[in-house]
């Protein structure tokens, strides 16, 4: 019986995958990019070839017969990167768990093993495919033995197919001729010497004429060019040695068997478990499209089980079906020491609450059985009893659900989503399902997987009561079980203080801010909109006049034609779709034609109109006239908060028209005013503290103008003689240094030559040598440890520092310099938020915290409490960190946000 056989060169494909996929790591810091890339390439070939048998060959760390012949064989190869080396055993483990045979033999390379089995099987009549990134294997090609070579094209992987005819078409020689060619030209990657002065083209011509190395040596006097013939004569033994080294052994003493293969290999529990272990979520979804509980339900349906039988399969998960059952559960809850809870919502409608207070049992209570207002009030004694410790996943949603009913949760001791974020802040998602995979080794069902997404999205209400119970109750059971493991990991990483003193109490602060919201003066917003519309109309006419006629200003294609064809401006950059009209390109063209400045202003005003005038309107609640923005605590790798629905942190304030938008944000009533407190130069103060630079520290302690001082120090001019322009240049350098600014970027910012910019940066570091030393230490420390760290222990992985790509490595160095400073600033503003919130709450004031924007806090202040709140902001914000320099804030008040800023 004829079989289709797939043979894979393990190290070759792993190496290709490693360099083809950006460096990735899981939550445990284990690198996984080569594994991920390997499996994807393997599956691409499997789906294309549909093999009956499969095996993967790997090299072993032992000398081969080639090393015994030639000690310098592969002697010039650099060592395999550690990041790749540690992934080879993982690839082998995953393949083994999928039942795919691994082939290795001391004294031989993977090529020899592949060559032996490939030739043996091909001669038995099987159809053989060999997958490798090494073109050495082209010498094996036969009519029923093809070689597949992966190649990157247009950002994806394509496979080149080589039968004998394909080898001859590409290289002009047969597969054996390709081997003879290689012996003549040598191979620097394997340190095969070949014959001096014979390259690929010359080698191809020689073999086309003489067919073999031996025959070419016999006719060396006739070989053209003459120099090649002379060298062939002189180095004939080296040519013969090279031929032996390049020849793949096809008669190794290895077993006959190659294991059977089918797609079922990727369905077995051992394979799925190892994917869970290494957190390959996308691969799990690929191999188990119906995964976890969804898969369990589907299987039960296929087996004809009823819903009641489905529920009986999980007797640890319960559904409350009456008020009597609910009262009994509340009595148990009142005696519990630890309760995990999860409130499930769809839109803004609460569907129910899931509770777990013992590992073996969890409960689901639906609002269709008991309305949420009743549940919330009845849970009040439990929620406000500090001795009953509460844990959850994104507990901010629990605060938001309880606060409107006068229930103030107390005793909240853990949030698994926040903990997961601190442990690995570079991830995109932190679902309960992922925690189950990482900490329990179980692939559960997250909201997205169970309920679907996009066109396949389901509602909780689409599920039967039994299924809802299985889904909802299991969530809190997972949270309950992962809690001790995550708590220990935070301790192991030295982030307990950051978690318990900063991030966890901040959850309540953010919930409060979201619930309160900020009022919008709609007439003022509309007035700004009308003004912007008028300005855009005027600008449009001006641009049309300058362009010589109307066109779509928002169309990059039409704008490019106007600028570079009609007006003849110099082309800066072209893309596949035409001329580039990016902001960067327009800024360079700005001095050349007045139309450019108008186009830039048109874009700015257009964004203000669409994003912040028209864009804010849908978020204004009809009931209270407020915007209730959501504050995201687990998005940025530096620890900064972000704002969504809408993003109030991005309202542009550098241009006056952008600042005017703040006039539309007003206090809830005339009983209140706004008070805005903003840290002064917090990142530069942190740079002074962390670097220990005496000049900077003394300047801040004396209250000097740091930018004027820097200009004075660098330029050698007395401070009183520094011009505004010189101060602005120093300011650009001061803040640019924090972000690892290059001479190229600084020259662009200050409109000076790169040479001048480089001299300015060098002079800066001469005046502040400890700053230079500190930044270099940040990079070296991050390179050694794999992460940057703030003064409060926050970590951020910086894998880019180990990249072979120069640009990626340079990016990593900039991140390593900036992260400790920017992250520490983020920590400080969070500490300040918590302290201000708790102080206001403790003193029972009516004033409240509304917004946080970067280093700024906005308070809605009850007018009789103005002095008290000013004092709280001064004391708590300046006391948020103990630095070698004072933390200073600027405080302003006003009838709207614009006036307060």
194 and 183 in contact (C-beta within 8 Å)? Answer: yes
Cα–Cα nearest to 827, from 882, 774, 900, 901? 882
355 and 333 in contact (C-beta within 8 Å)? Answer: yes
Q: What is the pLDDT of residues 621-660, one digit of tens each?
A: 999 999 999 999 998 888 999 998 898 888 888 788 888 9
Higher pLDDT, 257 or 295: 257
Using CA atoms, how far residue 112 sits from 61, 95, 117, in Å, is 15, 20, 9
Read off φ and ψ for residue 117, nearest 5 degrees: -70, -40
What mean pLDDT comes out for the span 762-777? 90
pLDDT at 452: 44
d(CA 87, CA 97): 15
What mean pLDDT comes out for the span 292-318? 50
Place 896 in a pLDDT band, splitting at 50, 70 and 90: very high
Q: What is the pLDDT of residues 808-832, one digit of tens each?
A: 788 889 899 999 999 999 999 999 9
- Res. 838: pLDDT tops 70: yes
Contacts for 435 with CB less than 8 Å, ≥ 6 apart: 393, 416, 420, 478, 479, 482, 486
d(CA 861, CA 868): 10
d(CA 39, CA 45): 10
- Res. 451: pLDDT tops 80: no
Whether residue 307 has a cis bond before it, omega within 30° of 0: no
pLDDT at 286: 75
- Res. 368: pLDDT tops 70: yes
What mean pLDDT comes out for the span 503-532? 96
pLDDT at 267: 75
pLDDT at 289: 46
Cα–Cα nearest to 10, from 129, 117, 191, 133? 133
pLDDT at 628: 95
Q: Please state whether beta strands 889-894 and 672-679 pair in parallel, antiparallel, or not at all (unpaired).
A: antiparallel
Dihedral angle over CA of 401, 404, 410, 413, nearest 10? 30
- Res. 723: pLDDT tops 80: yes
Higher pLDDT, 527 or 441: 527
What mean pLDDT comes out for the span 838-854? 96
Q: Which domains does the chain have, with CATH numbers?
A: 4-170 (3.40.50.1010), 314-517 (3.30.420.10), 519-627+635-666 (1.20.1060.10), 690-789+804-816 (1.10.150)
pLDDT at 507: 97
Read off φ and ψ for residue 512, nearest 5 degrees: -65, -45
Place 108 in a pLDDT band, splitting at 50, 70 and 90: confident
Contacts for 886 with CB less than 8 Å, ≥ 6 apart: 685, 700, 701, 878
Place 153 in a pLDDT band, splitting at 50, 70 and 90: low
Name the token pair of 671.
């009983």
Name the token pair of 210.
């003489």
- Res. 347: pLDDT tops 90: no
877 and 676 in contact (C-beta within 8 Å)? Answer: no
- Res. 308: pLDDT tops 70: no
pLDDT at 293: 42
Read off φ and ψ for residue 793, nearest 5 degrees: 95, 5
On average, the pLDDT of the chain sits at: 87
Place 78 in a pLDDT band, splitting at 50, 70 and 90: low
Q: What is the pLDDT of residues 538-568, one digit of tens each?
A: 999 999 999 999 999 999 899 999 999 999 8
Q: What share of the chain has pLDDT > 90, as a percent?
A: 49
d(CA 900, CA 662): 9
d(CA 516, CA 145): 71
d(CA 661, CA 532): 11
229 and 173 in contact (C-beta within 8 Å)? Answer: no
Place 780 in a pLDDT band, splitting at 50, 70 and 90: very high
Least confident window among 75-79, 150-154, 463-467, 513-517:
75-79
- The three state secondary structure string of 555-622 is CHHHHHHHHHHHCCCCCCCEECCEECCCHHHHHHHHHHCHHHHHHHHHHHHHHHHHHHHCCCHHHECC
585 and 563 in contact (C-beta within 8 Å)? Answer: no
The alpha-helical segments, DSSP class H, found in 145-199 are: 164-171, 175-185
Q: What is the pLDDT of residues 395-431, one digit of tens each?
A: 999 999 999 999 999 999 999 999 999 998 988 788 8
- Res. 453: pLDDT tops 80: no
pLDDT at 76: 67
Read out DSSP for 447-476? HHHHH--GGG---GGGS-HHHHHHHHHHHH
d(CA 686, CA 535): 42
SS3 804: coil
248 and 136 in contact (C-beta within 8 Å)? Answer: yes
d(CA 784, CA 582): 38
Q: What is the pLDDT of residues 16-73, one digit of tens each?
A: 888 877 777 776 677 888 998 899 899 889 989 999 999 999 988 777 777 777 777 7
Cα–Cα nearest to 275, from 434, 430, 481? 434
pLDDT at 294: 45
Least confident window among 456-470, 548-562, 719-733:
456-470
Higher pLDDT, 577 or 470: 470
- Res. 301: pLDDT tops 70: no
- Res. 715: pLDDT tops 90: no
Place 283 in a pLDDT band, splitting at 50, 70 and 90: confident
pLDDT at 427: 81
């Amino acid at each position: 019986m004829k079989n289709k056989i797939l043979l894979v060169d393990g190290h070759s494909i792993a190496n290709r995958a490693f360099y083809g996929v950006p460096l990735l790591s899981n939550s445990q810091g284990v690198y996984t990019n080569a594994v991920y890339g390997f499996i994807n390439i393997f599956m691409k070939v499997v789906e294309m070839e549909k093999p009956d048998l499969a095996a993967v060959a790997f090299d072993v760390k032992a000398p081969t017969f080639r090393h015994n012949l030639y000690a310098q064989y592969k002697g010039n190869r650099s060592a395999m990167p550690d990041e790749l080396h540690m992934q080879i055993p993982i690839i082998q483990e995953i393949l083994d768990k999928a039942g795919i045979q691994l082939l290795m033999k001391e004294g031989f390379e993977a090529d020899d093993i592949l060559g032996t089995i490939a030739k043996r099987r091909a001669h038995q009549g099987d159809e053989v495919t060999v997958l490798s990134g090494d073109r050495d294997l082209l010498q094996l090609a036969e009519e029923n033995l093809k070689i597949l070579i992966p190649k990157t094209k247009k950002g994806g992987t394509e496979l080149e197919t080589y039968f004998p005819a394909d080898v001859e078409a590409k290289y002009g020689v047969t597969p054996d001729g390709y081997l003879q060619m290689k012996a003549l030209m040598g191979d620097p990657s394997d340190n095969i010497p070949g014959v001096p002065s014979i390259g690929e083209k010359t080698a191809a011509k020689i073999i086309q004429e003489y067919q073999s190395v031996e025959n070419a040596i016999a006719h060396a006097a006739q070989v053209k060019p003459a120099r090649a013939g002379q060298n062939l004569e002189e180095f004939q033994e080296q040519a013969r040695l090279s031929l032996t080294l390049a020849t793949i052994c096809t008669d190794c003493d290895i077993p006959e068997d190659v294991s059977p293969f089918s797609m079922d290999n990727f369905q077995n529990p051992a394979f799925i478990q190892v994917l869970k272990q290494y957190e390959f979520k996308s691969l799990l979804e690929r191999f188990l499209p119906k995964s976890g509980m969804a898969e369990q339900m589907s299987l039960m349906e296929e087996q004809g089980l009823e819903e009641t039988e489905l529920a009986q399969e999980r007797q640890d998960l319960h559904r409350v079906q009456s008020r009597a059952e609910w009262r009994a559960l509340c009595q148990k809850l009142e005696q519990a020491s630890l309760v995990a809870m999860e409130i499930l919502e769809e839109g803004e409608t609460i569907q129910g609450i899931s509770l777990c207070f013992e590992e073996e049992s969890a409960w689901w209570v639906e609002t269709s059985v008991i309305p949420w207002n009743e549940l919330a009030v009845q849970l009040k004694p439990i929620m406000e009893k500090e001795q009953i410790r509460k844990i959850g996943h994104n507990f901010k949603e629990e605060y938001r659900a309880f606060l409107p009913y006068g229930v103030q949760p107390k005793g909240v001791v853990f949030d698994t989503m926040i903990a997961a974020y601190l442990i690995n802040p570079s991830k995109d998602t932190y679902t309960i399902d992922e925690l189950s995979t990482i900490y329990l080794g179980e692939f559960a069902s997250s909201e997205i997987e169970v309920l679907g997404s996009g066109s396949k999205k389901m509602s909780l209400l689409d599920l039967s009561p039994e299924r809802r119970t299985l889904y909802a109750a299991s969530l809190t059971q997972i949270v309950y079980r992962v809690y001790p493991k995550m708590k220990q990991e935070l301790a192991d990483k030295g982030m307990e203080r950051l978690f318990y003193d900063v991030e966890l109490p901040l959850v309540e602060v953010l919930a409060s801010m979201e619930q309160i919201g900020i009022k919008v003066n709609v007439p003022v917003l509309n007035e700004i909109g009308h003004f912007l519309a008028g300005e855009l109309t005027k600008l449009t006419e001006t641009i049309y006049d300058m362009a010589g006629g109307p066109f779509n200003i928002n169309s990059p294609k039409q704008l490019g034609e106007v600028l570079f064809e009609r007006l003849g401006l110099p082309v800066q950059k072209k893309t596949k779709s035409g001329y580039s009209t990016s902001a960067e390109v327009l800024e360079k063209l700005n001095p050349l034609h007045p139309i450019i400045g108008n186009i830039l202003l048109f874009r700015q005003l257009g964004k203000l109109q669409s994003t912040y005038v028209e864009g804010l309107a849908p978020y204004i609640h009809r009931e209270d006239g407020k915007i209730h923005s959501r504050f995201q605590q687990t998005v940025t790798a530096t620890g900064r908060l972000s704002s969504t629905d809408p993003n109030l942190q991005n309202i542009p304030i550098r241009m006056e028209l952008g600042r005017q938008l703040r006039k539309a944000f007003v206090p809830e009533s005339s009983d209140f005013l706004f008070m805005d407190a903003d840290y002064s130069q917090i990142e530069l103060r942190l740079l002074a503290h962390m670097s220990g630079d005496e000049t900077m520290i003394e300047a801040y302690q004396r209250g000097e103008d740091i930018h004027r001082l820097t200009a004075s120090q660098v330029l050698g001019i007395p401070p009183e003689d520094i011009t505004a322009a010189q101060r602005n240049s120093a300011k650009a350098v001061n803040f640019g240094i924090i972000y690892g600014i290059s001479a190229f970027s600084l020259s662009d910012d200050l409109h000076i030559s790169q040479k001048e910019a480089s001299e300015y940066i060098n002079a800066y570091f001469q005046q502040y040598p400890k700053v230079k030393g500190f930044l270099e230490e940040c990079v070296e420390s991050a390179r050694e440890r794999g992460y940057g760290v703030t003064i409060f222990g926050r970590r951020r992985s910086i894998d880019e520092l180990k990249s072979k790509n120069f640009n990626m490595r340079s990016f990593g160095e900039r991140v390593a310099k900036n992260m400790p400073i920017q992250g520490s600033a983020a920590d400080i503003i969070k500490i300040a938020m918590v302290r201000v919130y708790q102080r206001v709450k403790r003193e029972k004031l009516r004033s409240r915290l509304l917004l946080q924007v970067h280093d700024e806090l906005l308070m809605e202040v009850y007018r009789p409490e103005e002095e008290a709140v000013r004092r709280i902001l001064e004391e708590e914000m300046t006391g948020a960190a103990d630095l070698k320099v004072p933390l200073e804030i600027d405080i302003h008040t006003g009838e709207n946000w614009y006036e307060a800023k």
